[in-house]
Amino acid sequence: MSPPVVDISVVVPCFRGESSLPELCARLVRTLEARHTPFEIILVDDSARPALWAVIEKLAQGDEHIVGVRLMRNFGQHNATVCGFRHARGRWVVTLDEDLQNPPEEIGALLARAEQADADVVYGLPRVRQGPGWRSLASRLIMVIPRRVMRVAFDISAFRLISGRVAAEVARSERHDIILDIYLSWVTDRITAAEVRHEHPEGLRSSYTLGRLVTVFFNLLFNYATFPLRLASVGGFLLSVLSAIAGGVVVFSRITGTITVPGWASLAVAVLFSSGVTLLGVGILSEYVARIFLQINQKPQAVVRQATNTSRLTVAEPRAEPARQETLHGHR
């Protein structure tokens, strides 16, 4: 018999939350109990440190709503979150940081926005962003890439509300360096945002140092964006055209007598021609690499939102979801 479906699953990737997790879980339980619907809290230990796991074990023993998942080593925030998706049973899945920057009391605002906009994913955007100025600036610069790839007009955050159907689809990915937000946009285009309160507890120290932010930037740029490949493709084509034009100018100048140095024209044409062919080849190769890149990234071919005559389907739907008007939904 399959386990009962809960209304909300909260997934919290944990790295150094020994001091903040007790308060976070207490506030989560109070907030979700007030809704009078079944819920669960999944704490994923991504630190491989005994002290943190001891705190998670104690919290899980004290409340049946809390489930602890301990990873073998540190795999990263996004990997830990996707691991939490594999254990979640909710119609809705909420993700938030362990450090109390994302107030649990704001979950209701995300749910209200999802209902209002008929959305699959809702991001909680801080009304006023707290934290060091350099880090906020670096984060905003990094957000340029996911905003372009996801085709959204707002910055993303770790405070998300995700439909259970979408979370289950994302959980199928086995990429070792997954960027969760990009994958969400590959599954659905019903993505919106809601303004929420943002807190900055005293003594808070982010695990995202400048070095880690740079690593995330390059991961986004080269693992999930085809922009560099497209740039090489277009640049190679344009430069090959310019090389052909320049070669024609050299030949015309030799015929009209403007160039009188013996052998210079033939050498220049040979160099320009070979360079043009090489650059054109680079452009063509970049187009093939871009397609291989998307295949390796496991971009979904199509994702079914809803279907008629469900008794004829051979694959069971993974989770319950409110009825929607649209029949099918595929990737863009």
For the stretch 294-319, pLDDT in tens is 667 666 655 555 555 545 444 444 45
Q: How far apart are CA 289 and CA 285, in angstroms?
A: 6
Provide mean pLDDT across the span 225-240. Answer: 72
Q: How far apart are CA 202 and CA 100, in angstroms?
A: 10
Contact (Cβ atoms closer than 8 angstroms) between residue 95 and residue 11: yes
Q: Domain check: are 268 and 161 in the same one?
A: no
pLDDT in tens, 163-173: 999 999 999 88
The two beta strands, 66-70 and 90-95, are unpaired
Residue 19 clears pLDDT 70, i.e. is over it: yes
Q: Domain check: are 76 and 121 in the same one?
A: yes
Q: Domain check: are 82 and 129 in the same one?
A: yes
Tell me if residue 120 falls in helix, strand or coil: coil
Q: What's the CATH number where 64 sits?
A: 3.90.550.10
> Can you give the residue range of the structural domain that contains 240?
227-296
pLDDT in tens, 31-62: 999 999 999 999 999 988 899 999 999 999 99
Tell me whether residue 30 is exposed, middle or buried, using C-beta atoms within 10 angstroms of its C-beta: 0 to 12, 13 to 18, 19 or more: exposed
Provide mean pLDDT across the span 232-247. Answer: 75
How high is the pLDDT of residue 3?
A: 56
Q: Domain check: are 66 and 189 in the same one?
A: yes
Q: Domain check: are 108 and 27 in the same one?
A: yes
Global confidence as pTM: 0.71
The reply to whether 121 falls in a domain is: yes
The reply to whether 332 falls in a domain is: no
Q: What is the residue type of 40?
A: E
Per DSSP, the chain holds a count of helices (H) and strands (E) of 11, 7
Looking at the chain, the whole-number percentage of residues with pLDDT higher than 90 is 37
Residue 17 clears pLDDT 70, i.e. is over it: yes
Higher pLDDT, 57 or 155: 57
| Helices 21-33 and 50-62, packing angle to 10 deg | 30
The reply to whether 240 falls in a domain is: yes
Domain count, the chain: 2
Q: How far apart are CA 226 and CA 208, in angstroms?
A: 25
pLDDT band (50, 70, 90) for residue 225: low
Higher pLDDT, 194 or 279: 194
The reply to whether 323 falls in a domain is: no
Q: Which residues contact 92 (CB under 8 A, 6 or more apart)?
A: 7, 8, 9, 111, 114, 161, 162, 163, 164
How high is the pLDDT of residue 319?
A: 54
Higher pLDDT, 229 or 103: 103
Q: Domain check: are 167 and 251 in the same one?
A: no
Tell me if residue 32 falls in helix, strand or coil: helix
Higher pLDDT, 9 or 324: 9
How high is the pLDDT of residue 330?
A: 41
Q: Domain check: are 12 and 124 in the same one?
A: yes
Higher pLDDT, 150 or 8: 8
How high is the pLDDT of residue 284?
A: 74
The reply to whether 313 falls in a domain is: no
Provide mean pLDDT across the span 118-129. Answer: 87
How high is the pLDDT of residue 318?
A: 47
Q: Mark which of 170, 192, 223 sits at the end of a domain.
A: 223
Provide mean pLDDT across the span 320-325. Answer: 48
pLDDT band (50, 70, 90) for residue 270: confident
pLDDT band (50, 70, 90) for residue 201: low
Q: What secondary structure letter does DSSP report for 96?
A: -
Q: Mark which of 192, 223, 254 sits at the end of a domain.
A: 223
Choice among 22-31, 64-73, 120-129, 222-231 with the minimum mean pLDDT: 222-231
Q: Domain check: are 33 and 129 in the same one?
A: yes
Higher pLDDT, 238 or 90: 90
Q: Mark which of 223, 253, 287 sits at the end of a domain.
A: 223
Q: How far apart are CA 16 and CA 14, in angstroms?
A: 6
Q: How far apart are CA 175 and CA 218, in angstroms?
A: 16
Q: Domain check: are 162 and 13 in the same one?
A: yes
Q: Domain check: are 238 and 202 in the same one?
A: no
Q: What is the residue type of 289?
A: V
Q: Domain check: are 17 and 46 in the same one?
A: yes
The reply to whether 37 falls in a domain is: yes
Q: Domain check: are 130 and 10 in the same one?
A: yes
pLDDT band (50, 70, 90) for residue 279: confident
The reply to whether 326 falls in a domain is: no
The reply to whether 27 falls in a domain is: yes
CB atoms within 10 A of CB 228: 14
